[in-house]
Amino acid sequence: MGKFIISARTNGEYQFNLKAGNGQVILSSQGYSLKSSCLNGIESVKTNAADLSKFESKNSSNEKYYFNLKAANGQIIGSSQMYTTEAAKDNGIQSVHTNAPMATVEDETVTVENEKSVLA
C-alpha cells in the first residue's frame, strides 16, 4: 500500500511525496507555506488519482518521460520522477492511480517541530 510522507524543505515550506509499497517515490508535490495546504494537496491527489484522465504525460527536453497529476481546475498537484522509457512512465501512472486513493499519511515534520519547541 502507498504512503504519503510530509516533510519540511530547508526554506520552511512543506511538501509531500507519495511512495509506493516498495518505498519508491512515485509522485512529489510543490512547496506549501502552510501544512494545512499540504494536507489539502494530499486529499486532492487521493481524489484525482482515481481518474486516469487527470494524468498528463510529458516528454522532457533530454528525452525522458514524466507525468503530472492535475486537479479539476487544471492545476498541477503532483509530478513524477523522470523515466527512461515511456513504459516505465506508464507504470508510474498506474502506481499512483492504484496507491494514492487509499494511501496513509506519515508526517515527518512532527518530530522536527517537537525538537524545535524543546530547544526553544
What is the set of domains in the chain, with CATH numbers? Answer: 3-111 (2.30.29.80)
Going by pLDDT thresholds of 50, 70 and 90, the confidence category of residue 110 is: confident
Threshold 0.75, pTM exceeds:
yes
15 touches 23 (CB < 8 A): no
pLDDT reported for residue 118: 45
Q: Does the pLDDT value for residue 116 go beyond 70?
A: no
pLDDT average, residue stretch 21-38: 95
pLDDT reported for residue 111: 59
What is the edge-to-edge ordering of all strands in the sheet holding 104-107?
55-59, 65-70, 76-79, 25-28, 14-19, 3-8, 104-107
Task: For residue range 35-76, list pLDDT tens digits in order.
Answer: 999 999 999 999 999 999 999 999 998 999 999 999 999 999
